[in-house]
Amino acid sequence: MPLSLTVLGTASPHPQPGHPCSGHLLRGGGAEVWVDAGPGTFAELQRHTDPARLTAIWISHLHADHSADLLSAVYAFAFGGLT
């Protein structure tokens, strides 16, 4: 599989309707990596892949505009039926 990068969001420091904060989906070699989990990017991620297919989540730094949707992901896996 060739390397691909899908932009999930670029708004910073806060999301706007239809414009999530920082996030990307990196795919290649059978791996799928969610790079940065800014607000709004978990919903956008689900438009492009099943989150259960993720092989890793990589956070560049712990500012909220790069990490806040981690809580949404944890909640979805724990209580939302994602496995």
Nearest-CA neighbor of 68 among 17, 11, 28? 11
Collect the ranges in the chain with pLDDT lower than 50.
Answer: none
pLDDT for residue 1: 65
pLDDT for residue 76: 93
The length of the chain, given as a count of residues: 83
pLDDT for residue 42: 97
Q: Provide the residue ranges of all domains of the chain, joining segments of one domain with +.
A: 4-76
Distance (Å) of CA 7 to CA 20, 22, 79: 10, 8, 27
Report the amino acid identity of residue 75: Y
* pTM of the predicted model as reported, rounded to 2 decimal places: 0.92
Tokens of 32: 């799928």
